[in-house]
């Protein structure tokens, strides 16, 4: 019997959100299940969950469509933050009570997580744990998309779609700090406010005639970098907005369709289409490079200059409702889990 319907489960019972199969209806496949605490070994730490987000990649992992899938059965969740509550024997690690970043891919949708103490990254205790919980995926994705493909000068524009997403709102804020302007494309009128709240002054709705509307809004500025999270025909609409020799980077397929780019963009406008996957960057970057990026981003989150909207927080026991909400459309802000 799962914790979703277990009358004996109470607030002191640790829970894990476990799935034993993958399929098109992830909310039906995952359940909050009680588990017994195991004794810690040397080098281990027990961490109480403070907050963990539900990302699109988490949903794709549940459906089986993500590029890297854990063996089944599996605990959901790839990122989050917690508080150290116990250290194993002869273990040097973050102090008890310290807020820490959980290791990527450890299965963070659990009220308590056992991890190697050496892999826990201390974070500012005074910072908002809800905002810190999203540090591992979206902020570094935004920072690397901005930094690693085209070197933009202050005053230049970049263009992105799904600008109201977590990555999109972080990108707006990071670009503004660098003096870079953003053309922000959204798919509905109701998403405009979230982008403007994040500091995006120029927000347009995706659709026919996008290139003409972008030229008019920017005064014909040459845009050398486009960032696409949708795929399908939306990719080509972004491509049509770029200057000759521009670069278009795709990091997601929210449409469920492969990227479409016209021969005109490739042949006559000499565009380059590239892909970005954060897991690949982590596989190539040194520990020092990762620590440097995380340190910079954590500092910005701690001082409040980098943040994103939170649509709703759910208790772990309500994992089915949380996953369903994360997969629903027309939502402004992230869905979070707390213990």
Asked if the structure places residue 318 within a domain, the reply is yes
Residues 91 and 156 in one domain: no
Residues 222 and 312 in one domain: no
Cis peptide leading into residue 143 (ω within 30°): no
Residues 164 and 86 in one domain: no
pLDDT in tens, the chain (339 residues): 333 434 344 557 899 999 999 999 999 999 999 999 999 999 999 999 999 999 988 999 999 988 889 999 999 999 999 999 999 999 988 999 999 999 988 999 999 999 999 999 999 999 999 999 999 999 999 999 999 999 999 999 999 999 999 899 999 999 999 999 999 999 999 889 989 999 998 999 999 999 999 999 999 999 999 999 999 999 999 999 999 999 999 998 888 899 999 998 888 899 999 999 998 998 899 988 988 999 999 999 999 999 998 999 999 999 999 999 999 877 778 999 999
The size of the chain, in residues, is 339
SS3 311: strand
Residues 101 and 151 in one domain: no
In the block, tokens 């991890």 appear at: 115
Pair of tokens at residue 3: 């914790």
- Domain boundary pick from 264, 279, 294: 279
Residues 251 and 330 in one domain: no
Range of the domain at 144: 138-279
Residues 16 and 148 in one domain: no
Look at the chain and report how many structural domains it folds into. 2
Asked if the structure places residue 123 within a domain, the reply is yes
Asked if the structure places residue 289 within a domain, the reply is no
Cβ atoms of residues 224 and 244 within 8 Å: no
pLDDT in tens, 246-287: 999 999 888 889 999 999 888 889 999 999 999 899 889 998
- Domain boundary pick from 279, 294, 316: 279
Residues 27 and 117 in one domain: yes
Question: 51: domain CATH number?
Answer: 3.90.180.10
Asked if the structure places residue 294 within a domain, the reply is no
> What positions carry a catalytic annotation?
66
Asked if the structure places residue 290 within a domain, the reply is no
Q: What is the pLDDT of residue 176?
A: 96
Cα distance between residue 255 and residue 229, in whole Å: 9
Angle at 250 between CA 296 and CA 151, to 5 degrees: 50
β-strands 112-116, 44-54 pairing: antiparallel
pLDDT in tens, 187-220: 999 889 989 999 998 999 999 999 999 999 999 9
Residues 262 and 205 in one domain: yes
Residues 146 and 225 in one domain: yes
User: Which long-range contacts does 98-103 make (Cβ < 8 Å, 24+ apart)?
Assistant: 98/122, 98/125, 99/50, 99/123, 99/124, 99/125, 99/127, 99/129, 99/132, 100/47, 101/132, 101/135, 101/136, 101/294, 101/298, 102/47, 102/52, 102/136
Asked if the structure places residue 86 within a domain, the reply is yes
Asked if the structure places residue 158 within a domain, the reply is yes
Residues 174 and 274 in one domain: yes
CA distances from residue 142 to 118, 125, 139, 251 in whole angstroms, order as listed:
27, 24, 5, 10
- Domain boundary pick from 279, 297, 322: 279
Asked if the structure places residue 230 within a domain, the reply is yes
Residues 238 and 193 in one domain: yes
Residues 187 and 221 in one domain: yes
Question: 170: domain CATH number?
Answer: 3.40.50.720
């Amino acid at each position: 019997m799962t914790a979703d319907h277990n009358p004996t489960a109470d607030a002191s019972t640790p829970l894990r959100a476990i799935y034993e199969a993958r399929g098109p209806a992830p909310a039906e496949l995952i359940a909050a299940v009680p588990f017994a605490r195991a004794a810690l070994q040397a080098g281990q730490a027990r961490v109480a969950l403070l907050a963990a987000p539900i990302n699109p990649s988490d949903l794709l992992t549940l459906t089986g469509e993500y590029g890297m899938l854990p063996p089944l059965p599996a605990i959901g969740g790839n990122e989050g933050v917690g508080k150290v509550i116990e250290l194993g024997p002869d273990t040097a690690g973050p102090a008890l009570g310290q807020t820490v970043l959980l290791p990527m891919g450890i299965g963070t949708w659990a009220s308590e997580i056992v991890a190697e103490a050496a892999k826990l990254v201390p974070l500012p205790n005074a910072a908002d744990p809800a905002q810190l919980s999203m540090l591992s995926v979206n902020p570094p994705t935004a920072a690397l998309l901005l930094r690693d493909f085209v070197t933009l000068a202050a005053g230049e524009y970049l263009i992105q779609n799904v600008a109201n997403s977590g990555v999109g709102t972080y990108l707006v804020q990071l670009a503004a700090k660098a003096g870079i302007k953003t053309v922000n494309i959204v798919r509905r009128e109701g998403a405009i406010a979230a982008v403007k709240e994040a500091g995006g002054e120029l927000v347009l709705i995706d659709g026919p005639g996008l290139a003409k509307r972008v030229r008019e809004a920017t005064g014909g500025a040459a845009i050398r970098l486009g960032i696409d999270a949708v795929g399908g025909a939306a990719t080509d609409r972004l491509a049509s907005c770029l200057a000759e020799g521009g670069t278009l980077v795709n990091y997601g397929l929210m449409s469920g369709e492969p990227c479409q780019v016209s021969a005109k963009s490739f042949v006559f406008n000499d565009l380059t289409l590239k892909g970005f996957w954060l897991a690949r960057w982590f596989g190539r970057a040194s520990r020092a490079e990762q620590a440097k990026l995380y340190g910079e981003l954590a500092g910005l989150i701690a001082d409040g200059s980098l943040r994103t909207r939170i649509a709703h927080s759910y208790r772990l026991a309500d994992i089915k409702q949380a996953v369903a909400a994360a997969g629903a459309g027309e939502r402004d802000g992230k869905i979070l889990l707390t213990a």
